[in-house]
Amino acid sequence: MKIAYILSADPFEENGVNKKVKSQVDTWKSLGNEAKIFSILVNKGKKKREENYLKSKIYLRKIIFILPKSFKKDITAFKPDIVYLRFEVFKPFHFSLLKNFNTFVEINTDDIVEFKLLAEKSIREKIRLFYHLLTRWIIFKYVKGIISVTNELLSITYMNKYQKPSIVVPNSLILKDFKILKKINNEIPQLVFMGTSDYPWHGIDKIIELAKKTENELFFHIIGNNGSNYPELRNVIFYGYLFREEYEKIIKKCDFGIGTFALHRKKMNETSVLKIQEYLAYGLPIIIGYQDTALLNTINVNWILQLPNSEKNVINNVNKIVDYCYDMKDYIVQHREVKKIIDSFIIEKRKLNFMENLIRLEKK
């Protein structure tokens, strides 16, 4: 199949979204498909690297909702069997894609709850929310199918009201691209959290409270945040934004990976987070405060400590977290333990089969 991936994101960023997109497209190609990424930007983006991380074709929106003619020309010339769209705020050019191509949309979050949380911060975000609520239905009404990263998202009324064919496919990564980095050498357990933004549902404030309670027992490394909004503590280091080769040096020092602790602030209980899969691929056991879609069927594994999804989930379980860290600090997660649940060569096949079967049925 020929797949055009449409993405409104800066392709020079090595962030969680772009890492996922790159992994998806690389996997699709390895499985015998032709895939291209079409990056749509309002401006040229701030180059944090010299190269285009996604190796995508870039189109600039000089007028906020209007694309250059070259976009329509290029995607028409490519003749994709599928247009794959990561769900975003509706723009007029989306309608042309929905009308002329077999378009599938991927949903990664409860966009309405997330937009409402962001709207609390500024008038600009309030206006953005209002526009989004007026127009979001267009994409869902005209897509061929929906790919959701969690079961919970598909159960929301405003996600499934149009009764489109759908499938749940959690996030995944190319496991062979990761080496186990964890080593057994720390007296005090070292924990790492990775996140490129300071969103309230990440729960960094809870990590800080945990650090205060465990000053001489645990040590924390927080990547992707400069710590400007948090107090300085002896057992916490903030690193700000790091590229992969930089944050791997930190992970080599660590025993555990920390996931989201405050998903309840988005009124969600289930999600699929790529950084969790990276921790596992690097050999780190994980501590999370939600249901991870990729891990729902794991039974009797000792490399997950799952806390309740509640406001006091961390502060009420300090002793449990400390005990777990000392019991498991020398445990190294092996690739064979997680391959079936996080490797994209297994997971992405389900998505490709879903889309291909729908197109085949339409042609009959």
| pLDDT tens profile 278-288 | 999 999 999 99
Nearest in space to 275 (alpha carbons), one of 252, 291, 259, 255: 259
Query: What's the rounded mean pLDDT across residues 38-66?
Result: 74
Whether residue 334 sits in one domain with residue 210: yes
For all residues of the chain together, what is the average pLDDT?
Answer: 91
The pLDDT of residue 192 is 98
Whether residue 166 sits in one domain with residue 99: yes
Whether residue 188 sits in one domain with residue 164: no
Whether residue 196 sits in one domain with residue 130: no
CB atoms within 10 A of CB 174: 18
Query: What's the rounded mean pLDDT across residues 227-245?
Result: 93
Nearest in space to 159 (alpha carbons), one of 120, 106, 123: 106
The pLDDT of residue 86 is 94
What proportion of the chain, given as a percentage, has pLDDT over 90?
72
CB atoms within 10 A of CB 182: 24
- Count of domains forming the chain: 2
- pLDDT band per the 50, 70, 90 thresholds, residue 170: very high
Whether residue 330 sits in one domain with residue 358: no
Structural domain of 290: 175-341
Nearest in space to 148 (alpha carbons), one of 115, 110, 118: 110
The pLDDT of residue 64 is 64
Nearest in space to 289 (alpha carbons), one of 307, 305, 275, 310: 307
Nearest in space to 307 (alpha carbons), one of 287, 325, 324: 287
Query: Does pLDDT of 47 surpass 60?
Result: no
Whether residue 220 sits in one domain with residue 109: no
- Angstrom distance (rounded) from CA 99 to CA 298: 41
Whether residue 185 sits in one domain with residue 87: no
Query: What's the rounded mean pLDDT across residues 335-342?
Result: 95
Among the residue ranges 130-134, 155-159, 228-232, 241-245, the one predicted with the least confidence is 155-159
- Angstrom distance (rounded) from CA 59 to CA 44: 9
The pLDDT of residue 138 is 93
Which residue type sits at 53? Y
Paired tokens of 271 = 């999600």
Whether residue 183 sits in one domain with residue 151: no
Whether residue 206 sits in one domain with residue 319: yes
Query: Does pLDDT of 180 surpass 70?
Result: yes
The pLDDT of residue 16 is 83
Whether residue 259 sits in one domain with residue 153: no
What proportion of the chain, given as a percentage, has pLDDT over 70?
96
- Angstrom distance (rounded) from CA 237 to CA 133: 39
Query: What's the rounded mean pLDDT across residues 218-232?
Result: 94
Whether residue 228 sits in one domain with residue 156: no
- pLDDT band per the 50, 70, 90 thresholds, residue 44: low
The pLDDT of residue 49 is 52
- Angstrom distance (rounded) from CA 10 to CA 18: 8
For residue 335, what is the domain's CATH number? 3.40.50.2000
Whether residue 165 sits in one domain with residue 65: yes
